Amino acid sequence: MNLREKKLWVFDVDNCLIRDVDHPTPFDDALKLWNALIEKGYELAILTNVGRLSARQVNQALSDAGFEIPLERVFTAGAAAAAYVHNRVPGARCFVIGEGGAQEDFIARGLDVTNNPPIDFVAVGADRGMTFQELNFATKMVTEGAPLICISGSRDYPGIYLGSEDTFIGERSIVAAIEHATGVETVVVGKPLPEILVETVKVLGHNVSDAVIVGDNPKSDIAGGNAAGMTTILVRRNPDNIIDFESGDLDTTPTVTVGSLDELISEI
Ligand SMILES: [Mg+2]
């Protein structure tokens, strides 16, 4: 594998470029590689499983941390879920649970975000302010026939909310309650779903064989990248901050593993 032949580098965000979106401290090795890639003329993109922030908010957090990238090259699980719905029912009426970010991505896609029935799709992202009423309404709409979409698939994740440093239950756990109540199975839209990686690369005008994905998580970044046919680079980060995803029988073995991203500068 020759990294110099690759054209597009797709980066994960949390525990890869920055600690996480609640603590947007950059990793120095990531900044060095990022700047070296720009200097050498490679194309960059972001694909994050974060659904509680919109693409615009993720872009702002990255910019504050020193990673400059045009907004149209930032892809979130929320935006991928919105594309998934739009491709099936353009302008669909959607009930969206999230911290505002997913709602922003759905509206940006031309979808109708509403809490008035009838509801065509229920989409659930991580939401630390979710009420019982919202959970109950989502369950009712799924019972009445709305497909259930899980925006990304974390069981739990570390973060900071209202000043509290903690581990929070993720969207997959919230959706599990709705599945249990309704007997309806969710569609998880986020890494490692290979379709969203292929779609990201295609939208940017490339082939997966020309694209690299860099991330900290074997079960999301690497499993998804391998299944999509991309070159996969795993960076070893704090194991406590690696979020658990379901990757089924996808291959989680990276093409390359590095302890520090600046080790790659001599390869590009
Ligand atoms: Mg990550």
Q: How far apart are CA 142 and CA 152, in angstroms?
A: 18
Task: Tell me what pLDDT residue 52 has.
Answer: 86
pLDDT at 69: 97
pLDDT for the residue numbered 22: 87
Does the domain at residues 78-189 carry the CATH identifier 3.40.50.1000?
yes
* pLDDT at residue 151, as a whole number: 96
Fold of the domain spanning 3-49+191-267: Rossmann fold (3.40.50)
Ranges of residues in the chain whose predicted pLDDT is under 70: none
For residue 224, report the distance from its CA to the centre of ligand 1, in Å: 13
CA of 102 to the centre of ligand 1 (A): 18
> What pLDDT, on a 0 to 100 scale, did the predictor assign at position 149?
97
Asked if the bond preceding 147 is cis, omega within 30° of 0, the reply is: no
Q: How far is CA 162 from CA 22, 159, 221, 246, in A?
A: 11, 10, 29, 29
Q: How far is the CA of 37 from the centre of ligand 1 (A)?
A: 20
pLDDT of residue 51: 83
Location of each CATH 3.40.50.1000 domain in the chain = 3-49+191-267, 78-189
Residue 1: predicted pLDDT:
73
The single-letter DSSP state of residue 152 is S
> How far apart, in Å, are the Cα atoms of 179 and each of 72, 139, 149?
34, 8, 11
pLDDT of residue 7: 98
